[in-house]
Amino acid sequence: MKMRSYYLGELAWPDVEAFLTQHDVIVIPVGSCEQHGPHLPIDTDAFDAFWLSKKAAERAECVLVAPPINYGVSMHHMDFPGTVSLSPPTLEQLAYEIAISLIKHGFKKIVFENAHGGNTPALLAAAQRIKAENPKVFVAVDSVNLIPDYIEKEIETVYDAHSGEFETSTTLANREEHVVKERIAKPQIRFPPCKYTKMGLKERGPKVSWAFRIKEISSTGVVGDPTKASKEKGEEAWKLTIERLADLLKELDKMEL
């Protein structure tokens, strides 16, 4: 169904009612308001989640995008000014209540498009609650899970976890004007305390989840090497992510529950 906008916030209720006669898929973008080093915007995660969701929806033409959740679980970034954090139970409840409202109107397939890893446990908990109460509903959480092959091949930094090679590349690609390029620098990393406490998009092998504060690891808030970033890497990452998210959404649109 071709819509004048695939963003729920720009539609009137009759538009949503008409959409629901043919489709039942909605994306809820989730980001954060947290430091992203001295060179990237504080709203990087929130902007990216919403931007990606809209691009994929426009490509799929069978899904609406809900207004984003712009705050997340960012307690580990609170040493840096500008960071705002929700508690995990608050984010879980917020995600749950938004989804339940949408389900009442007829949406049956919900994707939380999450751009901040710290949100993942709370969103998974919300998803489990939603599913337990609504057996005929599909709920998924995507936290940069759609392009592992790209990350493995193109991202050079093993410990790239925050505001490093990957995020700097993607921000150069979708809003280069907000990257403070003269502040891009490789940080001094104080690596995690033992071989089982790992972090980074490419870290493999035996590991445990562990609690940390980013400032214990990096004085600048950057975990990774943004000097290896490029606009070209970011453009390729976005291209692939948009394609795969749109494909997922089209699959869900056809899926019988």
7-39 pLDDT per residue, tens: 999 999 999 999 999 999 999 999 999 999 999
Q: Characterize 133-159 residue by residue with b for buried, 16 or more Cβ atoms within 10 angstroms of its Cβ, and e for exposed.
A: ebeebbbebbbbebbeebbeebbebeb
pLDDT in the model for residue 126: 98
Domain 8-254 belongs to what topology?
A: Rossmann fold (3.40.50)
| In the predicted structure, residue 209 carries a pLDDT above the cut 80 | yes
Q: Is the pLDDT of residue 201 over 90?
A: no
Stretch 224-244: mean pLDDT, rounded? Answer: 98
For the whole prediction, is pTM greater than 0.95? yes
The dihedrals phi and psi of 78, each to the nearest 5 degrees, come to -70, -10
Tell me the HSE value of 5 on the side-chain side, using a 13 A CA sphere: 12
d(CA 68, CA 197): 32
Tokens representing 124 are 């998974």
Percent of the chain with pLDDT over 70: 100
Q: Residue 192: pLDDT above 80?
A: no
The chain-wide mean pLDDT, for the chain, equals 96
Give the sheet arrangement for strand 63-65, strand by strand: 63-65, 25-30, 109-114, 138-142
Q: How far apart are alpha carbons 198 and 44 in whole angstroms?
A: 23
115 token code pair: 């751009």
Quote the pLDDT of residue 2: 85
Alpha helices by DSSP H, 75-154? 88-105, 120-133, 148-154
The pLDDT value recorded for residue 207 is 85
pLDDT tens figures, 76-134: 999 999 999 999 999 999 999 999 999 999 999 999 999 999 999 999 999 999 999 99
| Three-state SS sequence of 1-64 | CCCCCCEHHHCCHHHHHHHCCCCCEEEEEECCECCECECECCCHHHHHHHHHHHHHHHHHCCEE
